[in-house]
Amino acid sequence: MKELSVDNLHVAIDGNEILKGLSLVVKPGEVHALMGPNGSGKSTLASTLMGHPRYEITEGSVNLGGEDIASLSPDKRAKAGLFLSFQYPAELSGVSLQNFLRTAYNNVKRPSGNPIPVLEFRRMLLENMKKLGMDEKFAGRSVNEGFSGGEKKRAEIVQLAVLDPTIAILDETDSGLDVDALKAVAQGIEALRGPSLGIVLITHYSRILKYIEPDFVHIMVNGKIIASGKADLAHQIEEKGYEGMGNR
């Protein structure tokens, strides 16, 4: 089992410590919801796990399938089976979603050469886009350029589906979505759920959890996980708020 194991993680940006000893184990097949208020360090955790160069690990470890990935560049982590769905995905002018994702696919899934035939890839892409309710024309459009918030998030989940990782971190995938978009994206994620994929669902609100029942819920405050439990923990947040949880 290729599990993600984060142990006593301390992370600083420009000398300021944001994560202060965070531990988490995610196995393929599990869905973990990571909830917390703004500024608790959720996005820092997401970026750090994927290897953003600005985030410095000062203590602790990150392992994927028993391999220490903390010193790997983001592309190597992707090849090791990690995926990050961005809260604010970058725009790539002049690069079509299809070309971008095919290049990514060949890097991640066919590292030893033997690239996927263009038409075969296009079929796979369009199939996944259809599931997310994305019009075909997006395949030929520049990545995320001029996409609405909902379209960007759908495109992230399409990428998740195509790249088929072992562990996916979804950073506030539900933020900025209207009800319909939220439902479509959540159903897309739910459809990918299965024994070979572990998911870390980072969210501020519990509303996405109406569509995706997590196996575990963790409450993160001030750079640490302060409470972990089953799905019902999310409901307590709804009632008491994060402050209430801090008093436990």
Partner 1 sequence: MDRSAGFRACAKQKIPMPAATKQPVINDIASQQFGADPIAYSFMSKPGLSERVVKEISHYKNEPEWMRAQRLRALKIFDSKPMPTWGADLSDIDFQSIYYYLRPTDKVAKTWDDVPDSIRKTYDRLGIPQAERKYLAGVMAQYESEAVYHSLKSQLEKLGVIFLDMDTALKKHPDIVKKYFGTVIPAGDNKLAALNSAVWSGGSFVYVPSGVRVEIPLQAYFRINAERAGQFERTLIVAEEGSYVHYVEGCTAPIYTANSLHAAVVEIIVKKGARVRYTTVQNWSKNVYNLVTKRTYVYEEGTMEWVDGNFGSKVTMKYPSVYLLGKGAKGDVLSLAFAGAGQHQDAGGKAIHGAPYTSSKIVSKSVSKESGRTSYRGMVFIPHGMKGCKSTVICDALLLDEHSRSDTYPTMDIRESDTQITHEATVGKIGENQLFYLMSRGLSQAEAMSMVVSGFIEPIAKEIPLEYAVEMNRLIEMEMEGSVG
Please report, as ranges, the residues that interact with partner 1 according to CB under 8 A: 47, 50-54, 73-75, 77-79, 83-84, 86, 88-95, 100-101, 103-104, 107-108, 142, 159, 163
Nearer to partner 1, 85 or 206 (CB): 85
Nearer to partner 1, 98 or 206 (CB): 98
Alpha helices in the chain, H assignment, sequence order: 42-50, 74-80, 97-109, 118-131, 149-163, 179-192, 232-246
Phi, psi (rounded to 5 degrees) for 238? -60, -40
Nearer to partner 1, 19 or 82 (CB): 82
Q: Number of helices (H) and strands (E) in the chain: give both, helices first.
A: 7, 12
| Shortest CB 93 distance to partner 1, Å | 5
| Shortest CB 176 distance to partner 1, Å | 17
Which residues fall within 8 angstroms of residue 216, CB to CB, at 6 or more apart?
30, 31, 32, 33, 228, 229, 230
- Cβ neighbours of 101 (radius 10 Å): 22
Nearer to partner 1, 100 or 205 (CB): 100
| Shortest CB 223 distance to partner 1, Å | 21
Kindly state the DSSP code that residue 7 receives in the 8-state scheme.
Answer: E
| Shortest CB 226 distance to partner 1, Å | 28
